[in-house]
Chains A and B, each alone.
Chain A
Amino acid sequence: MIADTTVPQDRRRTARRAHVWLTALLVLISIASLAIGASGTSLWGALQKLVSGQPLSQTEQVVLWDIRMPRMILGICVGASLAVSGAVMQGLFRNPLADPGIVGVSAGASLGAITAIVLSGLLPLAAMAWLGFWLVPLAAFLGGWGSTILLYRVSTRRGRTSVATMLLAGIALGALAGALSGILVYMADDAQLRDLTFWGLGSLAGATWAKVLVAGPVIVLSILVAASLGHGLNGLAFGEATASHMGIPVQRIKNAAILAVAAATGAAVAVSGGIGFIGIVVPHLLRLSTGPDHQPLLLNAALLGASLLLIADVISRVIIAPAELPIGIVTAVLGAPVFLWILLRRRGLVDL
């Protein structure tokens, strides 16, 4: 059966049509994300009041504007950056299972966050007062960024990055970051351990306008850079030598891809913790439905990644309301079976 698989229609058109459908999906889910929540505040009621010129109640203002709105925007940013980072890494490593987690960005970010949680007591009070709750996200971001730069230095010789070295070095650095994190966990007290566990599970619950304003621009900028890499990543699918023969400035594409992924993932992990599977499942689903051409794929990945993360977030806050499930659990429970299903169903196509 598989030997006779053909794609009769032009997949470029399907992929372009998907831009429209996925944008519509994202708009719908964004509205749902504003409307659904534990407090019972009605988006429609508030809109009616706005239209008829009545003032909003204090609760409505806090719930809709200060809680749900930044959470929705942060969810869009984080989902888009995880999915786009995944797609870019997979293109760079020529492996559909590559993920920012593999090149050590996540491990580095985790180490940063854990360091901040456990050792923050050692900081002078003035520094603590200045950084406040920003300390953990900032440390996570720096950790992710630093580990990517280190990895890049290790695997680049005379201006050429060896992807094989980078993958192996990523595993080694990840293990090292894990060991350092282990030492810190060993030193942590009970309250800190609880913080560590929940940060690791991932959540959008801490979303504020301040976080949106700091992480948002970094994420948007790095997604824009990543989205411009489509043609180059298509070429890299043929191998670096052939990509270069096709006229692609390979080294420049690799530099841009690595920096964009480090920034996007670092910022996303910093504000939301460890949210898995979006970076692997979203590009996979899109490749199977609209083809592997990176030019439409990167934009579609941003749209679908944002939508899926918002859906997971809505589920996470209503499923055991008024309590809230960490979103990383939801994405893993939903994502892992989908991932397995893709692998089993299309084994012939997904050449691992």
Chain B
Amino acid sequence: MTLTTRNIHARIGKKEILHGIDFTARAGEITAIVGPNGSGKSTLLKAITDEVDFTGEVILNGRNTAKMKPWELAAMRGVLPQSTTLAFPFTVIEVVRMGLMAGASGERADIPSRALAAVGLDGYSGRFYQELSGGEQQRAQLARVLCQVWHPVVDGAPRWLLLDEPVASLDIGHQLLVMRLMKDYASRGGGVVAVMHDLNLSAMFADQMAIIMSGTLLTSGPPDTVIQNDILSKAYGCSLTVNTAPEEGQSFLLPHLAMHN
């Protein structure tokens, strides 16, 4: 089962941001969408979730999303925006519970508190969402999205987490917590598509990486094939050194100190 886009052209206002993107993510994997600022990686996710005007097709588990009702889509995928402000003073548990009502996770009353624990927000139930820090708000929203698609596979069909920069506002400890949570979701059969800024975290956790540059798909594949100096310097316009961590053997990047080389 896959999430596939066919020839996506997306525009914001009059400007075309994406120029025909064919992208595929497989269930059971984390697919990281990376690229420089303004490359269109968030717009790609927004096209997949129907938040921007676009032409082309988005196929989710074999079905064209344009032909699906909002509640059918909600039962199949949860979407985490970059940030969410709330108009009214909801408490954290009320926010998370909203996800339970939205999806088809069943009526298990303990799912919201388990989701809160999973994102490291035990004991935050009664706190007001509006009074949390940015990183805490982001994790509370992630818990809500998790509630919506709590079981990674339902009736043999995978469900999807579509996350726009899920760890950008988090400290390093919580970044790891959330990345491991995504890894766990994928390993249990669900699909995870995340727009990422941090190439090192992407290299560590993602199964597939897709690099977007100037509204086109530059390349995609497993991190080993994508984390290459020539590819990255072309995408980001700067020179990077690709190293291998001595103990765990994973690739990591170091930027060069000098301005131009």
Contacts and interface: CB of A to CB of B under 8 A. Distances in A.
Contact of B88 (A231, A237, A248, A250): A237
The bracket for how many chain A residues form the interface is: 35 or more
Given A245-B79, A247-B74, A292-B90, A238 B131 contact: no
B164 to A, nearest CB: 11
Interface in B23-77: 49-51, 69-75, 77
Given A7-B128, A238-B84, A247 B90 contact: no
A94 B86 CA distance: 8
B130 interface: yes
Interface in B76-112: 77-79, 81, 84-91, 94, 98-99, 101-103
B98 A234 contact: yes
B98 A238 contact: yes
A94 B84 CA distance: 13
B88 A235 contact: no
B148 interface: yes
A246 B99 contact: yes
A343 to B, nearest CB: 14
B74 A246 contact: yes
B70 A94 contact: no
Contacts of A91: 87
A159 to B, nearest CB: 12
Interface in A275-294: 287, 291-293
Nearest to B85: A239
B127 interface: yes
A214 interface: no
Nearest to A249: B70
A130 to B, nearest CB: 46
Interface string B122-140: 0000111011000000000
Interface of B: 49-51, 69-75, 77-79, 81, 84-91, 94, 98-99, 101-103, 126-128, 130-131, 148
17 contacts: A3-B131, A5-B131, A6-B127, A94-B87, A96-B88, A237-B88, A239-B81, A241-B81, A242-B84, A244-B50, A245-B49, A245-B77, A246-B101, A246-B103, A291-B90, A292-B88, A351-B89
8 nearest A-B residue pairs (beta carbon): A247-B74, A292-B88, A246-B102, A94-B87, A247-B71, A6-B126, A245-B79, A7-B126
Given A235-B98, A248-B102, 9 more contacts: A245-B74, A247-B74, A249-B70, A287-B89, A291-B89, A291-B91, A293-B94, A348-B131, A350-B89
